[in-house]
Amino acid sequence: MRLSQTFSRTIKTIPADEQAINAQLLIRSGMIYKEMAGVYAYLPLGLRVIENIKNIVRQEMECLGSSELLMTTIQNKEVWELSGRWDDQLVDVWFKSQLKNGTEVGFGWSHEEPLMILMSKYIKSYRDLPISVYQFQTKLRNEFRAKSGIMRGREFLMKDMYAFSRSQQELDMFYDQAKQAYHKVFERVGLGPYTYLTYASGGSFTQFSHEFQTVTKSGEDIIYVDKKKHLAVNEEVYNDQVLRQLDLKKNELEKLKASEVGNIFNFGKTKAEQMDVYFTDKSGHRQPVYLSSYGIGISRLMGVIAEHFNDSKGLIWPEAIAPALVYLIAIGNQKEAELSLELYNLLTAQKVAVIYDDRDVRPGEKFADADLIGIPWRVVVNSKTVTSGKYEIKSRSLDKPDYVDKESLVNQMSRIVSRLAIKS
């Protein structure tokens, strides 16, 4: 990407109507654009971050054997009435409308019910199970208060996966595998040390659901953390009985604010019984399908990462999800510009993502934008070092630069790309 060819720009002033750090930094750095409260557009740099997060999640879901699909946003009222979740008293976040012929429709906030109906067309025998599917889908939720930037929106991007099993035992096996896959996802995006498997309310279906909560000062949830066991309990289920059941000691727990970045939920056979989704077992008997669901808020995850990794100068993206690995700056005249373009082409040929700041602006503005946008590595080609064949390279998280030759620089960046490309 060459900045002279992009339309988005950085903003020096903090948006007055945004209190959340993630929204302030993402808007200022030209990553997102605010359409209205709780609704944001993702500009080219921000979309790169989203796609990098999606790629990591996609790899881990496919390691589980899950198949990607894409469901509809417009939802059939009759499907949701089968489970009772069309009722606004049970689900208070629906956006609803009508077709021209008066038919009521909703806009998807989740997809358990539609997928149960879809899968009922393909699941007939025990031989058709187990199976899991996932999607990246824009969800719409009519939140009463949309705040915290992209950490809580009325429109947001989510990865949701659904597993269909023959028994509770089979469900439990996949459930445990999915837990481990989620841990890998949060480790790979840089949040592993701060993200805890958290016991939360299971509603009317099961005693507990499991959330993945990332500790952050701007979080909307309160959790009680056992750092040694790397487990937590959501405040909503925090009591002596639950602590005894989970073998957690009150004096070893720390009360912290956190943001939910993932949730896994065991519906058991309840949905199948509500919606008449059955299969024939080996003995020829009719059995209900067991359902479990698994969500990761992709855009929320981006916001939480922005909240975690920043300083007074701007964002500090982890290498695995940054919009580029290198921010390349040329300072000088024609010679420096030619050497910069040569280096740009060398790096991109090695599949190193580069933002080349080739704008006709002052060097100080380029340095400030490099810090604000938060690219992991900054490379400067200037008249002071090119005569000796050296390039200035600096990590976004360190103060002092290093000076290396072109071959060493390209090799160093190529090694990082190779390391990041390794799948779990």
Q: What is the pLDDT of residue 282?
A: 96
Residue 179 predicted with pLDDT over 90 = yes
pLDDT tens-digit readout, 353-407: 999 998 888 999 999 999 999 999 999 998 888 778 889 999 998 889 999 999 9
Closest C-alpha to 323, from 371, 289, 355: 355
- Domain range 324-421, CATH architecture: 3-Layer(aba) Sandwich (3.40)
d(CA 194, CA 213): 8
DSSP string computed for 148-209: SGGGS-SEEEEEEEEEEESSHHHHHHHHHHHHHHHHHHHHHTT-GGGEEEEEEE-TTT-SEE
Which segments of the chain belong to CATH 3.30.930.10? Answer: 9-311
What confidence tens digit (pLDDT) does each residue in 309-330 have? Answer: 999 999 999 999 999 999 999 9
Residue range 55-71, pLDDT digits in tens:
999 999 999 999 999 99
Give 99-118 pLDDT, tens digit per residue: 999 999 999 999 999 999 99
Quick one: what percent of the chain has pLDDT higher than 90?
79
Q: Given this model, what pLDDT does residue 187 score?
A: 96
Look at the block and give the residue holding tokens 């790397």: 230
Instruction: Provide the mean pLDDT of the chain.
Output: 93
Mind listing the pLDDT tens digit for each residue in 23-56? 999 999 999 999 988 899 999 999 999 999 999 9
Residue-level pLDDT at 205: 57
Give, in order, the Cα–Cα distances in Å from 159 to each of 84, 141, 192, 254, 293.
24, 15, 18, 30, 11
- Domain boundaries for CATH 3.40.50.800 within the chain: 324-421
Please, which residues bridge with residue 155 across strands? 140
The correct CATH number of 9-311 out of 3.30.2130.10, 3.40.50.11540, 3.40.190.80, 3.30.930.10 is 3.30.930.10
CB-CB contact of 61 with 159 (8 Å): yes
User: At which residue do the structure tokens 């991007």 appear?
Assistant: 157
The pLDDT tens digits of the residues spanning 199-239 come to 998 765 567 899 999 999 988 899 999 999 999 999 999 99
